[in-house]
Amino acid sequence: MTQLMVKRVYDPPAPGDGTRTLVDRLWPRGVSKDRIDLWLKDLAPSDALRHEFHGHPDRWDQFCAAYAAELGSPAAQAALAALADKRSKGPIALLYAAKDEKRNNAQALRLWLDGRTFSVQE
């Protein structure tokens, strides 16, 4: 399987990024469309889950479990198929806008895609 990395959308694009894929539900402020190759908003957590996690970042494990359940929806499954297709062709940079670099939906998605537990390295 090809390389899968997580980057903040505000970081400058790099040659090794491959397909720069936004996995947030909302378009990030001040980011031009030429910095993002693919927007898979159906891979983002629901608004309710996003708001819940934003108010309680200490509940990472609960967020990840709820997010994993949401990834089973038909819309998320279709977006995962699109991501798998792109991933089969080269590197993917999962882009997010959150300020927390360790606990965000893109990190949770990467861990889920890699079949790992949702622990964060401190």
- The per-residue pLDDT for 57 is 78
> What's the Cα-to-Cα distance from 100 to each of 78, 86, 106, rounded to whole Å?
27, 26, 11
pLDDT at 55: 72
Instruction: Dump pLDDT digits (tens) for 24-39.
Output: 999 999 999 999 999 9
58-104: pLDDT as tens digits? 889 999 999 999 999 999 999 999 999 999 999 999 999 999 899 99
Domain ranges of the chain: 4-113
Tokens for 34? Answer: 């030429």
Per-residue pLDDT band for 119 (boundaries 50, 70, 90) equals: very low
Is residue 122 over pLDDT 50? no
* pTM reported for the whole predicted model: 0.88
Identify the H or E element spanning 113.
helix 105-113
Burial class from Cβ neighbours inside 10 Å (0-12, 13-18, 19+) for residue 17 reads: buried
- Is 21's pLDDT higher than 90? yes
